[in-house]
Structure 1
Amino acid sequence: MGYQGADQMRFFSEMSERQISAREFFSSVLIDAIERNFGFKKILISYFDTQGKFLSWVNWNGVMPDSVDHPYRKFVANDIVRHVIHQEAVVDQLTYFNVIPRLYKSTDVIGAIDYEHSGYVRFLEENFQQHYSVTMAFGINAYIQVAFFKTLDAGDFSNEEIELLNRIYVYVANSYKNFKKHEQIRIVSNIQNEIISSGERAYLVTDDFMHIMSSNDLAQEYLKDILGTTIAEQISSSKPCNWLPFLLGSENDSSAANRVQTRIIKNYIFKIYTYDQSYSNGIVDTYHWITISQKGDDKAVDYSGVKLPLTQAEQKVATLMYNGLTYQAIADELVISYHTVKKHIQNIYIKCGVNSRFQLYKWFEDKEREGAKK
């Protein structure tokens, strides 16, 4: 398979543009770019969640979400290549920032002696009319894998092709890393703006791999009081924070999925909100924004009664806020503008006599308790 230096430069240029403008990075557009510049015609992109559950795939025939009839359903338990990829990614704590090639040649994973009679080959032949594969692993716990196929007649991947695939991996991985950086800067900025607008004074923003993406000085002061002065050294956007899992709680905590979580540690109240970034392939990247307040900060606020009745629209917005949605998520849910949401929230704060989301949350809790007593 021949290739020119100009093709590589054109591909790199396309990826550089894509890392800034793309809504989703791994898609049929990437498949087309690889084929156009390097000649690989049979490519499959598979998507999983961070726990390894299959979500969907896209190839030269289009997109195929998971379903009862999906062909991968019957094979997933026996997919030794995927099993090895996922297991090694978990051990290595693979994230979107890895740029070191992670290539898995199917004949190396399974072994040349057993390969021809393996279930893996039968699966490739039955579903893609292909015989050999090399799979690239990307993202958190390898939740995205890009497989390149060849037929039996074309033969297994040569050393020259593996060398080219290594270079393609580096191009794609660097562009994906920059794409995630751009995306996370945008997401964190939106969350910060909302926190500031809500009147909260101390906050953290984290991703779903236990990195602290943003925090302010007051939050760090509170954390030092709780966890000691060395806490500042653990606040990092590139290294997992070992105390965050304790704060965020279990992934199986059903309350985390549909309402604000509350943690009280020492004299501090932590309110944990969830921000989900969803993609058409089924992947959901979860971010958390955490506000911290000292007990007693809200004593000056009178939560007794609504001063003015909330309109139906304001009630919907208030309920979604109580469930932890961000301003933008509320706008998307109600199909209204971000600025309309902000206006509704300003009115809600005035009518309920509160100054922040935390105070509104407590106001709702007080109302629920009053209702339960009646």
Structure 2
Amino acid sequence: MNYSKTSENTGSDVNFFTEISEHQISAREFFSCVLLDALDRNFHLQNALISYYDTKGDFLSWTSKNGVMMDSNTHPYRAYIDKDLIRHIIFQEAVKDRLTYFNIEPRLYVATDILGKDQYDDSPHAQFLQSHFNMKYSLSMAFGINAYIQVTFFKTAEQGDFSEEEVQSLRKIYVYVANSYKNFKKHEQTKIVSNIQSEIIASGEKAYLVTDDFMHILSSNELAKVYLKDILGTSIEEDLSRESPCTWLPFLLGGQGQEQMEDSVQTRVIRNYVFKIYTYDQCYSNGIIDRYHWITISKIEEKEKQDHGRRELPLTVTEHKVAELLYEGMTYKAIADSLVVSYHTVKKHVQNIYLKCEIQNRYQLFKLMDEENFDK
């Protein structure tokens, strides 16, 4: 492998940029073997590894040209996790800088620069590379939320450490990858928001906003803006920006966490408005989960004016109990534990509820439950 080839001609640059630009449009996951193959084919970067972490810095898996290797008790990285100073520094700096998938400024970490050239040969890092990859030197790139994706390139002792010229070439490659990843995430989020909006329309809710788990508002409609202005004032317009975190969302999303399931819902009452907060998880084969929220807003006084002549839900006692627990925001598993039945029994009850109430999803059930509660 000759790293100097990464800067020999612009043809490779153009081919690589074209390849990953096409990849970003059709890919289900951006950081994959396809990217590793493109790096090798265009820049002769044969020895590379993609590592994945959650947003708290915990290891999930890594990908080589042989595919994905998920974390397990026997994973080679397990014995080295606590000694990985480089990953610790990458994570801490990413948290401090609030790194997201929209970052395109190069974030490169040369192992010998971090650990010191004099102490490097005896470091746990050098020993780990030698034991598991038969390599000596490494350079890592950090991408995504809190640097939860890390692409590492290796060199042997014979090849020597990364030169300044090679680092500059890799900085350029970082920008190519980061820009394509940014476009990939925007394209992916557009599809996610569109799917969520379809669910909201089907539920009959009229005011909504869609957010990611890092306080960015991805979409909102005009009625939601009117309601939010009534609560928070006219300055709300400045917060409805996709590029910067929203200052009041942490208060609204308080209590939301990774332990919550995708089919859970939280209800908040602020002044005379009811906020219902749903979760949507985008899961990847590497173990990463990107969490989104969609929030509906309704005025309590509007609900009280609804027609009170509606029929009661045509459910059995058990089905009604399941419906109430769903309305309270409990997951299928939590309902099964509460009623001391199996998960599949709960699922069957839910199917019967949908059939009897002539609805198609959980969100339409919430609307019916609202109507029944206000009738009483």
Give the TM-score band, short-chain normalised. Answer: 0.7 to 0.9
CA distance in 1, matches of 2:221, 2:41: 46
- Which residue of 226, 233, 254 maps to 2:231? 226
1:359 aligns with 2:364: no
1:184-203 equivalent positions in 2, closer than 5 A: 184-203=189-208
Gap runs ≥5 in structure 2:
333-343, 345-350
TM-score scaled to structure 1, two decimals? 0.84
- Which residue of 79, 86, 105 maps to 1:81? 86
Deviation at 1:307, TM superposition (A): 3.9
In the alignment, which residue of structure 1 is the partner of 2:337?
Answer: none
**Are the counterparts in 1 of residues 313 and 372 from structure 2 also a CA contact under 8 Å?**
no
- Which residue of 214, 219, 225 maps to 2:219? 214
Q: What secondary structure is seen at the aligned counterpart in 1 of 2:165?
A: helix
In the alignment, which residue of structure 1 is the partner of 2:171?
Answer: 166
1:249-268 equivalent positions in 2, closer than 5 A: 249-252=254-257, 259-268=264-273
TM-score scaled to structure 2, two decimals? 0.84
Q: What secondary structure is seen at the aligned counterpart in 2 of 1:120?
A: helix
- Which residue of 299, 306, 320 maps to 2:313? 306
Distance 1:255 1:87, change over 3 A: closer
Deviation string for 1:163-218 (max 9, x for gaps)?
A: 11111101100000000010001110111121112110110100111100000111
- Which residue of 79, 94, 108 maps to 2:99? 94
Deviation string for 1:13-65 (max 9, x for gaps)?
A: 00110111111000011001100100011101000111111100011333210
In the alignment, which residue of structure 2 is the partner of 1:19?
Answer: 24
Distance 1:189 1:50, change over 3 A: same
CA distance in 1, matches of 2:35, 2:369: 44
Gap runs ≥5 in structure 1:
326-333, 335-342
In the alignment, which residue of structure 2 is the partner of 1:271?
Answer: 276
In the alignment, which residue of structure 1 is the partner of 2:297?
Answer: 292
Count of aligned pairs: 347
**Are the counterparts in 2 of residues 86 and 142 from structure 1 also a CA contact under 8 Å?**
yes
Letter in structure 2 aligned against 1:295: I
CA distance in 1, matches of 2:170, 2:163: 10
Deviation at 1:263, TM superposition (A): 0.7
CA distance in 1, matches of 2:258, 2:27: 33
Distance 1:364 1:115, change over 3 A: farther
CA distance in 1, matches of 2:82, 2:66: 24
In the alignment, which residue of structure 2 is the partner of 1:337?
Answer: none
Letter in structure 2 aligned against 1:305: E
- Which residue of 115, 118, 121 maps to 1:110? 115
Q: What secondary structure is seen at the aligned counterpart in 2 of 1:296?
A: helix
Letter in structure 2 aligned against 1:277: Q
Distance 1:157 1:71, change over 3 A: same
Determine what percentage of the aligned residue pairs are the same residue.
Answer: 55
